[in-house]
Amino acid sequence: MIVYDTRFNANEWFVIVGLCVGVVLTVVFPKRFSRQVAAVFFMCGVYSGFFFDHSLSVEPVSFYDVNDVSKFQMMDFISYWMYGAVSYFFFYIYDRLQPKASYIPLYILVWSLACMGAEWIAVLCGVYHYSHGYKFIYCFPIYLLVQSAWMALYYTFKRKGFV
């Protein structure tokens, strides 16, 4: 087990503030979706974060660790909920703007870059610790892939009349 930090400091504050701001904004913004659809859109971020963190940060080759130590802790679990607001607002803003289909790649690109910016701040705060040759830039195609899947989900829900 690798210990990066033993104090309550920037990485915990980043997660707590990110989670609180995201949840408050999710609750305060005008409702655009039914509760069920909003919950699915929120859980897309939670699930995506959990899936990729546990795919890339587990043995035999752990490409990065989250927060203070290399083993799973409660703050790691809390950090997954922080991603929920990101996915919710990905869907919310897209639904609000209703851009032409030709702008979907640009929308995904902008969101992927924004997520890279947020991740860079998280790295500076000590939330992520990369290892075994893994680099920050490797996250970019993951964001592109995840948000493309989210867009496919949005249009599936739209075809079914849920949105």
Sequential pLDDT tens for the chain (163 residues): 888 988 899 999 999 999 999 999 999 999 999 999 999 999 999 999 999 988 888 778 889 988 888 888 899 999 999 999 999 999 999 999 999 999 999 999 999 999 999 999 999 999 999 999 999 999 999 999 999 999 999 999 999 999 9
Q: Tell me which residue has tokens 């909003």.
A: 38
pLDDT at 54: 84
Q: How far apart are alpha carbons 153 and 47 in whole angstroms?
A: 14
pLDDT at 106: 98
Q: How far apart are alpha carbons 52 and 54 in whole angstroms?
A: 5
Q: Give, in degrees to the nearest 5, the angle at Cα 109 between 106 and 115.
A: 145
**Residue range 72-99, pLDDT digits in tens:** 889 999 999 999 999 999 999 999 999 9
